Amino acid sequence: MKSREIPSSSRGPKWLLDLFKSFRLAWHLLRDPSVPIGFKLIPLGALLYVLFPADFIPDLVPVLGQMDDLTVVLLGLKLFIDACPPITVEKHRAQMSSLEASYRVVEHEQPQAGNISGYLDIAEPSVHQDEVPASTPEQLAQDSEPPA
């Protein structure tokens, strides 16, 4: 018996993740002052439709009553995102997809002797170079010999 290949869309809840990202994007766009106020009325209208007692299909009808509310909310969300300026939408998508962490490039792989401040996020090292006496191999050998 041949194994059937499963399409990538049914391997996981990708649609649910996309829906969550769309709601998050809409929230960012609603708070952005560069989006015209008229466009911001679209999701508000969809929300009012859900809250308003008169619907196309009354909520008393099982399943279908809730499906029309869900459909209006999803269509309102899509219409709002599509109506917003594309540059603003892409800006918010890029901000949402990037990691919000600061990082820096380390130029040298090996720390210099006594100076680890380049690898740790500290203002200055706890031991300064001038406070520690310089040790040569001869001095180390003398220190390790027992006294005679």
Query: What residues form DSSP beta bridges with 112?
Result: 115
Looking at the 3D structure of the chain, how many domains does it have? 1
pLDDT recorded at residue 1: 47
Residue 119: inside a domain:
no
User: What CA–CA distance (Å, rounded) separates 79 from 73?
Assistant: 10
DSSP single-letter state for residue 117? T
pLDDT recorded at residue 143: 60
User: What CA–CA distance (Å, rounded) separates 24 from 111?
Assistant: 43
Residue 144: inside a domain:
no
pLDDT recorded at residue 58: 75
Query: Residue 49 belongs to what domain range?
Result: 35-99
Query: What residues form DSSP beta bridges with 115?
Result: 112
pLDDT recorded at residue 35: 94
CB-based contacts of 32: which residues, under 8 Å, 6+ apart? Answer: 88, 92
Give me the residues of the chain with pLDDT under 50, please: 1
Residue 89: inside a domain:
yes
Q: Residue 112 — φ and ψ, nearest 5°?
A: -75, 150
Residue 49: inside a domain:
yes
Residue 58: inside a domain:
yes
Give 81-135 as a DSSP string: HHHS-HHHHHHHHHHHHS----------SSPBTTB-TTTS--SS-SS-TTTSPP-
Residue 83: inside a domain:
yes
pLDDT recorded at residue 28: 94
User: What CA–CA distance (Å, rounded) separates 67 from 112?
Assistant: 65
Residue 133: inside a domain:
no
pLDDT recorded at residue 90: 93
pLDDT tens-digit profile of 7-45? 555 556 888 888 899 999 999 999 999 999 999 999 999
Residue 95: inside a domain:
yes
pLDDT recorded at residue 137: 64
Amino acid at 5: E
